[in-house]
Amino acid sequence: MSASRISVVVGTLTALFLASCSGPETVPEGHDEGHAAHWGYEADNGPDAWGSMDPEWILCAEGLEQSPIDLTNATEIELPGAEIHTPSKQEVGMLNQEGVIGALDNGHTIQINSKTGETMTVGDRSYALVQFHFHAPSEHTVDGEHFPMEMHFVHQAEGGALAVVGVLIEEGAQNLGIAPLWAQLAEAPGSETAVRIPAGFADYIFPGDAGIYHYDGSLTTPPCSEGVKWYVRETPTQLSKDQIAAFTAIYDNNNRPVQARGDRTLYLDEKPTVTIY
């Protein structure tokens, strides 16, 4: 194993309420409350327009280490051993930021805010789980191919550094970890609803062993901040056709296109040491 080590401690995470204008990956420090611009995924406010909609979003147009990317031609690496904690058996807040398809408002996703304090420590840096959310189709592609969906677990260290764990989703068996969340999808538009994460949630979302892609990227939503450590699980997790349809009936095409990799190296650890709770 490599010299550094990832471990996870459970810490306290203050409840985080995102500003009304914030998006899927926007974090409190980078909140854009007060901005007149409302980004989205339509022609006039979508990814191609983000960089010119607000001076603070210039990286969306000019950044050189942006996300997502196509996951291909990876360099083999041994990543540090990892432990990832996910919410389990805990009341969390589900924030459906906008409930109407095509609404040209901020934040087109289902987002579950963590209020219970999971943290992930990578090397000497501890990241708190802020929230997780969904995109359809996937933002990352593998050898040019999209998956039906992708989950992002957004972590933030003190000082603002970000790490995101990505989970690709393919069509398959019903996911019993997602089912309780989806049961409340229709009840949550525009408001925060208390939902209970089922026991064994991590096992449903991170089943079995999987390789992990790693690279340095960015937020995939404005302000497209860089310096984000990405860890994307190689093996997709399954949701049923109906579960995928339930999400895309509310949010579809809330994915940023893949960005140029440039000089960056994409790493893949085929057999990472990862413990997930």
Binding site for Zn ion (CB under 5 A): 24, 152
Percentages (nearest 5) of helix, strand, coil residues in the chain: 15, 30, 55
Q: Which of 209, 228, 218, 216 lies closest to 267 in space, CA to CA?
A: 216
- Tell me the closest approach of the beta carbon of residue 247 to Zn ion, in angstroms: 13
Nearest residue (CB) to Zn ion, 23 versus 51:
23
- Tell me the closest approach of the beta carbon of residue 271 to Zn ion, in angstroms: 26
Given CA atoms 139, 143, 148, 153 in this order, what sign does their dihedral have? negative
Nearest residue (CB) to Zn ion, 152 versus 229:
152
181 vs 179: CA distance, rounded Å: 5
Q: How far is CA 124 from CA 27, 127, 140, in A?
A: 21, 10, 27
- Tell me the closest approach of the beta carbon of residue 140 to Zn ion, in angstroms: 10
**b/e per residue 230-254 (b: at least 16 CB within 10 A):** bbbbbebbbbbeebbebbbebbeeb
Q: Which of 18, 16, 58 lies closest to 37 in space, CA to CA?
A: 58
- Tell me the closest approach of the beta carbon of residue 68 to Zn ion, in angstroms: 9
Given CA atoms 109, 110, 113, 114 in this order, what sign does their dihedral have? negative
101 vs 131: CA distance, rounded Å: 22
- Nearby residues of 76 by Cβ (< 8 Å), 6 or more positions away: 267, 268, 269, 270
Cis-peptide into 223, omega within 30 deg: yes
Residue 180 contacts residue 195 (beta carbons within 8 Å): yes
Is residue 108 among the annotated active site residues?
yes
Q: Alpha helix (H) ranges present in 31-183? A: 47-53, 59-62, 179-182
Nearest residue (CB) to Zn ion, 24 versus 40:
24
Catalytic one among 31, 35, 85, 108?
A: 108
Nearest residue (CB) to Zn ion, 162 versus 202:
162
Q: Tell me the residue nearest to Zn ion as measured from the CB.
A: 152
Nearest residue (CB) to Zn ion, 26 versus 119:
26
Residues involved in catalysis: 108
